[in-house]
């Protein structure tokens, strides 16, 4: 009986831990059931495009969570830094790879400076970092708008005939065309470097993951760390990789609809993989161990001789710089700079995607970020179709989509507070 109760409690805890993820999986599957206008080719074309566009931004949230700063809504500041760099590049008509590298370098400097001051603010508002990050985002947005609406044209003289500048010569236009890379602009400057068909990428990823799993299993045995291996995990994960490879090969042989999916930007994918590797490697360094120590207990970390304030500032700076690069990747894919609105929802959407993947305010990893980005964007694709199928209006799906974004954040924070209260009650008892 006790065993049955333990199993029941374990299942309940698992459902509670993954409640947000379960809701989104169910929502996406429901969308496929009720909508008839979404083909497999369309769905995967949209999904792969969105995942490559947004993954870098979501991954930039991991380090602050591990360092105990919670969900860093302040990545909006990083996004604005990226937009400032893109605006400068477009003003001086820089494009292609050189223009893109200029954007990355300029954004890094601006974002690092902003991240430093943001980190200092978080240290002053210790324990309320998430609220502080929201407020500082609004404050930074005010400065950003003052810069682009007033300083450009009034304090910094610019020609009114420039295509970026408003006709009266003051301020930058609402929308700035980034110009295709073939015409010397930044649009698809990263994505168009090298592309491969979708199924080829699936096959390569499946084989790569399978080899990684097998090699890691073999190395653990060879180094006498067999206790780290799990044969059941090897069979399940290896089987999934082989199944994925089988689907890709079948699609190539039969020329199925998957062959019509939009091509995959290889260099963008390599940058995302590079950020994943960077996140893993930095956590194995002294600095990464400091992040974990500070995230688990600031008091214990301070007693151990770790400079807590400095560690938190570094975590914020890294996150802000990564967010600025993520915004550049995002905008070069979109092809236009929506000057005053492109950054406003970045923080909310990225945080929601991370939470959908199963992360919390105190726990986050690469799988949470990647899985959450896939699931969150799948919901974005299906929402209008569900609204159209159920209510006859795609617009209702758009409203529902917004509701889901804020609902996810609210549910995740509610669960976090409930678990924290439950844990404190157990300690008192």
What pLDDT does 425 receive? 66
What pLDDT does 424 receive? 64
* Tokens 């105190």, located at residue: 362
What pLDDT does 378 receive? 86
At 174-195, the pLDDT tens digits run: 999 999 988 889 999 999 999 9
What pLDDT does 276 receive? 94
* b/e 189-227 (16+ beta carbons within 10 angstroms → b): bbbbbebebbbbbbbbbbeebbeebeeebeeeeeeeeee
For residue 165, which of 179, 180, 150 has the smallest C-alpha distance? Answer: 150
What pLDDT does 82 receive? 95
What pLDDT does 234 receive? 84
Residues of the chain with pLDDT under 50: 1
* Contact between 346 and 79 (Cβ < 8 Å): yes
What pLDDT does 259 receive? 85
* Tokens 């910094």, located at residue: 156
227: tokens are: 């206790």
What pLDDT does 394 receive? 65
What pLDDT does 32 receive? 77
């Amino acid at each position: 009986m006790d065993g049955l109760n333990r199993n029941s409690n374990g299942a309940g805890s698992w459902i509670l831990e993954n409640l947000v993820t379960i809701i989104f999986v169910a929502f996406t599957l429901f969308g496929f059931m009720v909508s008839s206008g979404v083909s497999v080719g369309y769905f995967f074309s949209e999904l792969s495009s969105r995942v490559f566009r947004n993954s870098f931004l979501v991954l930039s949230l991991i380090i602050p969570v591990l360092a105990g700063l919670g969900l860093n809504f302040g990545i909006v500041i990083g996004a604005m830094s990226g937009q400032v760099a893109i605006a400068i590049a477009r003003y001086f008509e820089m494009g292609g790879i050189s223009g893109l590298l200029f954007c990355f370098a300029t954004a890094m400097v601006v974002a690092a400076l902003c991240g430093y001051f943001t980190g200092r603010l978080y240290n002053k508002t210790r324990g309320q970092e998430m609220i502080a990050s929201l407020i500082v985002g609004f404050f930074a947005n005010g400065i950003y708008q003052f810069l682009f609406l007033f300083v450009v044209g009034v304090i910094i003289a610019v020609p009114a005939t420039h295509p970026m500048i408003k006709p009266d010569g003051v301020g930058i236009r609402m929308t700035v065309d980034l110009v295709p890379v073939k015409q010397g602009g930044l649009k698809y400057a990263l994505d168009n470097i090298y592309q491969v068909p979708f199924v080829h990428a699936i096959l390569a990823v499946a084989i790569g993951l399978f080899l990684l799993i097998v090699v890691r299993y073999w190395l653990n045995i060879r180094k006498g760390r067999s206790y780290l291996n799990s044969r059941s995990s090897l069979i399940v994960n290896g089987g999934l990789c082989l199944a994925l490879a089988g689907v890709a090969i079948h699609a190539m042989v039969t020329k199925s609809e998957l062959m019509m999916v939009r091509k995959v930007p290889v260099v963008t994918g390599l940058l995302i993989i590079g950020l994943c590797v960077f996140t893993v490697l930095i956590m194995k360094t002294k600095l990464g161990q400091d992040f974990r120590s500070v995230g688990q207990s600031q008091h214990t970390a301070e007693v151990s001789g770790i400079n807590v304030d400095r560690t938190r500032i570094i975590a914020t700076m890294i996150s802000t710089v990564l967010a600025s690069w993520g915004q550049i990747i995002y905008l070069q894919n979109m092809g236009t700079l929506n000057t005053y609105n492109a950054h406003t929802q970045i923080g909310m959407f990225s945080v929601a995607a991370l939470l959908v993947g199963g992360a919390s305010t105190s726990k986050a990893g690469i799988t949470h970020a990647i899985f959450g980005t896939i699931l969150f964007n799948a919901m974005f694709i299906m929402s209008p179709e569900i609204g159209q199928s159920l209510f006859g209006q795609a617009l209702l799906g758009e409203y529902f989509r917004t509701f889901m974004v804020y609902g996810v954040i609210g549910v995740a924070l509610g669960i976090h507070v409930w678990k924290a209260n439950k844990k404190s009650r157990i300690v008192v008892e």
